[in-house]
Amino acid sequence: MDKPLQNKIAIVTGSTAGIGEGIVRRFAAEGAKVVVSGLEKKTGERIAASIRLAGGEAVFQFADLRKPEHCKALIRRAVDEFGGLDVLVNNAGIYPHSKFEETTADFWDTIFEINARGVFLCVQAAAPAMRARGGGSIINIGSCCAFQHYEGLFAYGATKGTLYHMTMAMARKFAPDHIRANWITVGWVPTENERKVEAAEGHDEAWYEQARQRLPGQEFQTVDDVAAGCVFLAGGEARQVTGSDLRVTGGQCVRF
Ligand code: NAD
């Protein structure tokens, strides 16, 4: 039996670390040809090599999503290397903390450049390639911060709220092209970088343990939990699923 993503061509932005790395590895295991991308060149090359060693197809493309030409080159790499593009996971994102009162114009611009404008530029470049294949799947990695206020994450929440709007607008815009656009609300995944951000706020293991106990299901989410949602949204089983919000939150920020 074919794997769920057999012969699909996928790009995962920000797949040189954390959640993105988990998604790209899982996509490759499910049969996709993948473009690994992000800022960490050596790590990205290593991830692509290890996928190839395991029998998969993968290349690494360095792309700084603040640069429009890098966004275009990233999409072009999938087309040049594998012959097209079926799936784009917009996972790259930064979530530095800044108090509302201390947030500068530069901070605001940088976080929007990466978390929102970079996604727009990638999708703008990806849409013609997907159209040429008769359709595709765009998956935007979101956060509870789009729907709730968290101290220190005002600007970040604004980027994710923007991304949520973009997802739904893309779902409508691209429906005639059979390009689907979906959003995953990610709860809390203590990745290496997420831990660094919290450590900078003075939060230690004991703080994480208390935080975990306060979660509705008393569990953090994992990279694999998010990757599993992406496999579903990328694959043929989701052919009629667009404009959806898949909550991988363990019960956090549930809405009625
Ligand atoms: P991470 O910091 O571990 O990895 C981020 C990735 O994005 C890296 O590969 C990095 O190279 C890439 N990146 C950063 N700036 C970039 C730029 N300018 N151009 C291109 N790539 C860039 O992050 P993570 O914790 O795995 O989170 C991944 C995504 O999930 C983000 O969009 C984040 O907002 C979202 N999210 C994370 C959590 C969590 O708890 N970790 C919760 C909700 C949402």
Residue 1: the pLDDT is 78
Pairwise CA distance, residues 79 & 58, whole Å: 13
Helix (H, G, I), strand (E, B) or coil at 88: strand
Residues 171 and 243: their CA atoms lie apart, in Å, by 5
- Tell me the CA–centroid distance for residue 93 and ligand 1, in Å: 4
Q: How far is the CA of 24 from the centre of ligand 1 (A)?
A: 13
Candidates 149, 136, 90; CA nearest to 114 is 90
pLDDT at 255: 81
Atom of ligand 1 nearest to the CA of 221: 40
Phi, psi of 41 (to 5 degrees): -65, -50
How far is the centre of ligand 1, averaged over its atoms, from the C-alpha of 40 (Å)?
12
Supply φ then ψ for residue 88, to 5 degrees. -125, 115
What are the chain's domains?
Answer: 9-186+224-246 (3.40.50.720), 191-220 (no CATH)
Residue 143's pLDDT is 98
Asked if 38 and 122 count as a contact pair (C-beta separation under 8 A), the reply is no
Do residues 13 and 37 lie in contact, with contact meaning Cβ atoms separated by under 8 Å? Answer: yes
Q: Which residues line ligand 1 (CB under 6 A)?
A: 13-14, 16-20, 38-40, 63-66, 91-95, 114, 141, 143, 186, 188-189, 191, 193-194
Output the residue whose Cα is nearest ligand 1's atom 12: 14
Round to whole Å and give the CA distance between 101 and 169.
Answer: 31
* 196 Cα to the center of ligand 1, angstroms: 12
pLDDT of residue 256: 82
What are the tokens at 5?
């993503």
Give the DSSP H or E segment for 139: strand 136-143
What is the atom index within ligand 1 of the atom nearest the CA of 145?
43
Residue with CA nearest ligand 1 atom 3: 18
Q: Which residues are catalytic?
A: 156
**CA separation (Å) from 43 to 11, 37, 131, 132, 165?**
16, 10, 32, 32, 32
- What is residue 50's predicted lDDT score, i.e. its pLDDT? 98
Mean pLDDT by 10 residues, the chain (256 residues): 94 98 98 98 98 98 98 98 98 97 98 98 98 98 97 97 98 98 98 96 96 98 98 98 98 90
Atom of ligand 1 nearest to the CA of 39: 11
Give the integer Cα–Cα distance in Å for 30 and 27: 5
